[in-house]
Structure 1
């Protein structure tokens, strides 16, 4: 079930956010501290806050498999997204740790992914979280789902 993606938000944004906040509060213990902090913060979904990802542009997406062990046989998957903020005054870096699933449905990106439109965090039954991101320009361009153990956010001034 989604709460604040386009289908829900475009119908009734206030009610959608109210339900999402209830969901987050009811399941706070299922999220890592950093995921809950982002998902429940006032600024993350505040389109007037220049550190909010809404309307940011994708600069780069990196999928890596850091390894350990004598033969580098112990591997994990990480995803790092670098976004140019909506006001073009800085960069948002999102680093997903211990990724277990990546679904990048990008079907109309000849001219880029356009704007980070909406996103939401949900917990999974496996004790992780999924971050669903909708990209859009004049038409929807992509829908991404990243399931991971944790996330780190950082802001870099331009």
Structure 2
């Protein structure tokens, strides 16, 4: 079992990601959340470096951007599927603008971002999921390699919102 200690905002009634999970009952979990890692795969850096060496900077940037958007797009697709599996699918008429604004139930958070700023918690996520099996490694600084990878913890709580603890 993996556990995370999330920081709380330093103010009255400050938010904490743990607020989005029901407490244990008789020492046992009664709620669910999801952890995932997505990646565009290996070889992106080498391909981009090859374009850079030839002075093809537009191609270099395009390859890197496409790889990052691929990993992020798959993360968003996975989050959409999770919402459906949890019983609250997106409305059929939901617009892309509403998706970009995260106007849906539940939220996904990534370590190193404002609600869970400790990047070191990536090590716990990696221990639980073992994304090395799909080619994603953690650097000494807890960054993912390949760079075009996304990790997240997803909460289904209807009041989940994005916030900062700093």
Please report the TM-score for the alignment, with normalisation by the length of structure 1: 0.28
More strand by percentage? 1
Q: Looking at CA atoms only, which structure, 1 or 2, has the larger radius of gyration?
A: 2
Select the structure that is richer in helix: 2
Higher RCO (C-alpha under 8 Å, 6+ residues apart): 2
TM-score (normalizing by structure 2): 0.27
